[in-house]
Chains A and B, each alone.
Chain A
Amino acid sequence: MTTAAPPRSRVTLAQAIRDTGVITKRNLLRNVRLPQLLLFSTVQPVMFLLLFNYVFGGAIGQAIPPAAGGKYINWLIPGLIVQVATFGAGQTALGLTEDLSKGVIDRFRSLPMARSAVLAGRTMSDLIRNALIIALMLGVGFLIGFRYQTSLIRLLGGMAVALAFTYAMSWVMAAIGLAVKNPEAAQSAVFLPVFPLVFASSVFVPTQTMPDWLRAFADNQPITVTTNALRGLILGEGALLPGQTVEGQILAALAWSAAILAVFAPLAVRVYRRTVS
């Protein structure tokens, strides 16, 4: 026991990527092995899908644009994808606070690894996890009647827009989780702001019937913009409000994701540095 580990006085980019891979794999394995986590994270969106489709579908179906092909489920799926993207990002906060409280982050920090890998690996594994959940939801959606009205390429494009959004939101949640530190507190700190954002949007219902003050907010917030981009891609331009274009909504959605990432990724890194020392 006299030979030292290979010296690594500076962490290179290649090592940072490799370390991120190791952490990502570890987080994903946890997901697979922790049955409750997997169950709740997949059951919940499917439950939302079934409840909204069968409970509200009949009533809301009257108000949706014809581009949805006369079926509420077609309108609902793009919205639910964005909802899952948002809620799923909350897992980032929960995962980080759990690692923090169990001393796992201390262990990582005592190793000669890239420090950035802890946050990068966490957000990456949550991105993969959320992609799988969205795919699963799409599958269930197909079974109960969802059909895209454009093309498969456009559907995949919509997925990509949703994944960019969930990745950006993961960094928001990382900052929140690291700021509150404990897993129980993170639970409420994450879902409290997310609920009104998801409901005051075009996710479940068109915004036209909302009061003006609320509609002004709902029409411009990132969840609505992202949902519109997905509807444009999956259902066609007819699903959008007059004056909106599919390309415009995609650009706006990607701009939102980029802006959120640009603000919250550095913020999360700063909170991480402060939290753990």
Chain B
Amino acid sequence: MRGPIVEAEGVVKTFGPIRALDGVDVAFEPGIIYGLLGPNGAGKTTLIRVLTTLLRPDAGTARVAGVDVLADPVTARTRMGLAGQFAAVDDYLTGRENVEMVGRLYGLRGDEARRRAAEVLERIGLVDAADRPVRTYSGGMRRRLDLAASMVGRPQVLFLDEPTTGIDPRSRIDIWNLIQDLVADGTTILLTTQYLDEADQLAARVAVIDHGRVITEGTPAELKDTLGGSVVELTVPDDRRDETLQALATVTGEHPAYEPSTKKITVPAPDGARTLMAVVRRLDESGIVPDDITLRKPTLDDVFLALTGHVAQDQTQTPAAPAGRPRRRR
């Protein structure tokens, strides 16, 4: 297919006084993984719901795989798959029954649905557990099964809403591998995530969404480049912080950013080590001794912080420390 596979123009959705989507424009190319980034409440899930025909926008248009999702939602649904924020699988059915049921609802006949379910379960690595009730599955297995269900209809576009939120690191890697396999087969994948390292690992392109608008779009490398190369990151004693921010304000001509949750101050370092030296000199002149100071390549977290003024996720809840239950949307 030529041209974008997912397109949205001027999409607006309000919930009472809240403008969840405030004129979203996107155009995603086929065959790659897109990361949709944004803090909680930025509108990621709302955008996914509009694109997957679950929610009618107040204004705007959206096309998925060449089909207008507002004018012809039924056809649009045949071309896409959705795995939502919490695994929508049925605890009291077996894994196989869950996937077969979805196949039947895609319009497959009984034996076709059975064959397709077996294929997908094999693919997802759940063959051994396929005939056990889902309530005996771990969180990671449930997510994989949910992913399996979303693949049954051989979708051209797969929407994954926070596919690894709240699962253990090992399952997270499994899901990453699976997503990479799928895209290698030609499926376009649109995933939302709060974990920027996930987007960095998986996504060929990312779009950052905040306050219901797409504020930037590009490859992770492009976005990092907008910060002008490296960053200097430092921490100082709390009582010297304001002083430090003031002292560093004139080093590069750009304001240093301070993130309260990590207590880290970051300064864009367009000249790399030279900027670091300038920062150190300035601190020395002001008689400030940092607790820690490093020069490093920017991460998507830095991009995010620079663009939105806050971090993407609560630092206390990293994927390495599983959050137990997936968070519910609003």
Interface residues of A in 13-43 (CB under 8 A from B): 15, 18-19, 22, 26, 29-30, 33-34
What B residues does A10 contact at CB under 8 A? Answer: 74
What A residues does B105 contact at CB under 8 A? Answer: 19, 22, 108, 111-113, 117
A8 to B107, CA, bound (A): 8
What B residues does A110 contact at CB under 8 A? Answer: 52-54, 77, 80-82
A11 contacts partner chain B, Cβ-Cβ < 8 Å: yes
Residue of A nearest to B123 (CB): A1
Q: Are A107 and B78 in contact (CB under 8 A)?
A: no
What A residues does B255 contact at CB under 8 A? Answer: none
Q: Are B107 and A6 in contact (CB under 8 A)?
A: yes
Q: Are B53 and A109 in contact (CB under 8 A)?
A: yes
When the two chains form the complex, which single residue of B54, B101, B182 contacts A26, counting CB atoms closer than 8 Å? B101
Given the known A-B contacts A6-B107, A22-B105, A103-B88, are A112 and B74 also in contact in the complex, defined by CB atoms under 8 Å?
A: yes
Q: Are A22 and B104 in contact (CB under 8 A)?
A: yes
A104 to B88, CA, bound (A): 5
B75-118 near A? 1/0 per residue, CB < 8 Å: 10111111011111010110001000110111110000000000
Q: Are B90 and A104 in contact (CB under 8 A)?
A: yes
B128 contacts partner chain A, Cβ-Cβ < 8 Å: no
What B residues does A117 contact at CB under 8 A? Answer: 105
A144 contacts partner chain B, Cβ-Cβ < 8 Å: no
Q: Are A111 and B77 in contact (CB under 8 A)?
A: yes
What B residues does A5 contact at CB under 8 A? Answer: 78-79, 106-108, 153-155
What B residues does A108 contact at CB under 8 A? Answer: 105
B149 contacts partner chain A, Cβ-Cβ < 8 Å: yes
A4 contacts partner chain B, Cβ-Cβ < 8 Å: yes
Residue of B nearest to A11 (CB): B74
- Count of chain A to chain B residue pairs whose CB atoms are closer than 8 Å in the complex: 106
What A residues does B153 contact at CB under 8 A? Answer: 4-5, 111-112
Q: Are A7 and B82 in contact (CB under 8 A)?
A: no
Given the known A-B contacts A15-B107, A34-B92, are A8 and B85 also in contact in the complex, defined by CB atoms under 8 Å?
A: no
When the two chains form the complex, which single residue of A4, A11, A109, A277 contacts B154, counting CB atoms closer than 8 Å? A4
CB of A228 to closest CB in B, whole Å: 39
A135 contacts partner chain B, Cβ-Cβ < 8 Å: no
What B residues does A29 contact at CB under 8 A? Answer: 92-93, 97
What B residues does A9 contact at CB under 8 A? Answer: 72, 74-75
| Interface SS majority for chain B | loop
Give the residue among A3, A107, A117 with the most B Cβ atoms within 10 A.
A107
A2 contacts partner chain B, Cβ-Cβ < 8 Å: yes
Q: Are A112 and B101 in contact (CB under 8 A)?
A: no
B156 contacts partner chain A, Cβ-Cβ < 8 Å: yes
What A residues does B72 contact at CB under 8 A? Answer: 9
What A residues does B85 contact at CB under 8 A? Answer: 103
Residue of A nearest to B187 (CB): A1
Q: Are B77 and A30 in contact (CB under 8 A)?
A: no
A210 contacts partner chain B, Cβ-Cβ < 8 Å: no
What B residues does A15 contact at CB under 8 A? Answer: 107
B249 contacts partner chain A, Cβ-Cβ < 8 Å: no
Q: Are A6 and B78 in contact (CB under 8 A)?
A: yes
B321 contacts partner chain A, Cβ-Cβ < 8 Å: no
When the two chains form the complex, which single residue of B78, B82, B104, B185 contacts A106, counting CB atoms closer than 8 Å? B82
A1 to B93, CA, bound (A): 26
A112 to B105, CA, bound (A): 7
Residue of B nearest to A3 (CB): B154
CB of B160 to closest CB in A, whole Å: 12
B185-206 near A? 1/0 per residue, CB < 8 Å: 1110000000000000000000
What A residues does B78 contact at CB under 8 A? Answer: 4-8, 112
CB of A47 to closest CB in B, whole Å: 25
Q: Are A106 and B74 in contact (CB under 8 A)?
A: no
When the two chains form the complex, which single residue of B77, B86, B104 contacts A103, counting CB atoms closer than 8 Å? B86
CB of B64 to closest CB in A, whole Å: 11
Q: Are B84 and A277 in contact (CB under 8 A)?
A: no
What B residues does A22 contact at CB under 8 A? Answer: 101, 104-105
A241 contacts partner chain B, Cβ-Cβ < 8 Å: no
B165-201 near A? 1/0 per residue, CB < 8 Å: 0000000000000000010011100000000000000
Residue of B nearest to A111 (CB): B105
A276 to B102, CA, bound (A): 19
Residue of B nearest to A1 (CB): B185
Q: Are B75 and A8 in contact (CB under 8 A)?
A: yes
9 A-B pairs in the complex with CB atoms less than 8 angstroms apart = A2-B186, A18-B104, A19-B104, A19-B105, A26-B90, A102-B86, A110-B52, A110-B77, A110-B81
List of 3 A-B pairs having minimum Cβ-Cβ separation, nearest first: A103-B88, A33-B92, A107-B88
Q: Besides the contacts A110-B77, A112-B77, what 18 more A-B pairs have beta carbons closer than 8 Å? A: A1-B187, A2-B185, A3-B154, A4-B78, A4-B79, A8-B75, A8-B78, A11-B74, A26-B90, A30-B92, A33-B133, A106-B54, A107-B84, A110-B53, A110-B80, A112-B75, A113-B105, A113-B107
